[in-house]
Amino acid sequence: MSEPTILGIHHVTAIAGAPQRNLDFYTGVLGLRLVKLTVNFDDPGTYHFYFGDRQGSPGSILTFFPWAGIPRGTTGNGQVAATSFAVPRESLGFWRARLAEHGAAVEDGGARFGEPVLRFADPDGLALELIGTAAGRDTAWTGAVDARYAITGFHSATLAEAGYEKTAALLQDVMGLAPAGAEGNRFRYQMGAGGAAAIVDIVCTPDGRPGRPGAGTVHHIAWRTPDDAQQLAWRKRLADAGHDVTPVQDRSYFHSIYYHEPGGILFEIATDPPGFARDEDPDHLGERLMLPPQFERHRAALERALPPLKLPLPKARA
């Protein structure tokens, strides 16, 4: 087999508070599609939401563990400090007005590597960005937001680190990312030719405080690999490089391995297949609670225990 490759960001998983509020914000305000409604496999009394584009493409998926009543966390070193979505460059005025209309404090982030940035936070305080790009995917979900303005997937993610050299060495020397420039204390790395969901920035803040987990913080970031064979090759490479790596975990819609980067952020490498259409019609993703086989016999009890939800109405298919 040829050298294993990282194709880009697969998904980002964060922690939220009230489930309905989280669902309403990401589908009703940001206009993402709920592509899977399931449970946390390690805590099945909690939902696991997957939001993304029309197809649930790797590189568009922001997922949440929503625990009602969980205290807010604090974003800091050793965490993903911002998750950035790509939008058409000409749509930033629309988004500035839309977010303000829905009560989000929007901040003009200026230009980053030549691209304009809007900063804001979700209702739990999760740091998000919209970055205006010249081109993006053609799989945006046209639900609550018109296709002219819609989020097209991830642009990048920002890692906050007290020191960046060891994390940079992991990204570059082990995972195969390439340096793509620096601006001040921000160092950019990219997969392949870069572009949508293929960029990660390290921001070095040696005087910053460590992050504290809780609502409004990222739990982990996952990188894409094309198949199970490459995932096993990644597991061996990481272990040979001295990293503790979990066995392969079956997450129903992808297979996963986990390890911590030197600054403490939990990394995952996830396979592209089998994808979110393995147990639902692609036209009806996210319209009902889906359970893995080990929990199906407990469906009635889980449905009683999980908080009731008002799901977004099905939209006309683009």
Q: Please report which confidence band the pLDDT of residue 134 belongs to, taking 50, 70 and 90 as the band edges.
A: confident
257-283: burial string, b at 16+ Cβ within 10 Å, e else: bbbebbbebbbbbbbbeebbbebbeee
What CATH number does residue 136 fall under? 3.10.180.10
Residue 290 covered by a domain: yes
Distance CA 268, CA 286 (A): 23
Domain containing residue 90: 8-305
Asked whether residue 1 carries a pLDDT value surpassing 60, the answer given is no
Tell me the sheet residues that pair with 210: 77
Q: Please report which confidence band the pLDDT of residue 316 belongs to, taking 50, 70 and 90 as the band edges.
A: very low
Distance CA 68, CA 166 (A): 36
Asked whether residue 318 carries a pLDDT value surpassing 80, the answer given is no
Residue 142 covered by a domain: yes
Asked whether residue 143 carries a pLDDT value surpassing 90, the answer given is no
How far is CA 201 from each of CA 113, 128, 186, 225, 242, rounded to the nearest angstrom? Answer: 11, 14, 6, 20, 23
Distance CA 281, CA 19 (A): 24
Residue 314 covered by a domain: no
178-187: burial string, b at 16+ Cβ within 10 Å, e else: eebeeeeeeb
Q: Please report which confidence band the pLDDT of residue 75 belongs to, taking 50, 70 and 90 as the band edges.
A: very high
Question: Which pLDDT score is estimated for 139?
Answer: 85
SS3 232: helix
Residue 312 covered by a domain: no
Residue 261 covered by a domain: yes
Residue 94 covered by a domain: yes
Lowest model confidence (mean pLDDT) among 150-159, 210-219, 221-230, 307-316 = 307-316
Residue 316 covered by a domain: no
Total number of residues shown for the chain: 318
Q: In this predicted model, what pLDDT tens digit does every residue of 164-201 receive, in sequence order?
A: 999 999 999 999 999 999 999 999 999 988 888 999 99
Residue 225 covered by a domain: yes
Distance CA 267, CA 259 (A): 5
SS3 273: strand
Count structural domains, the chain.
1
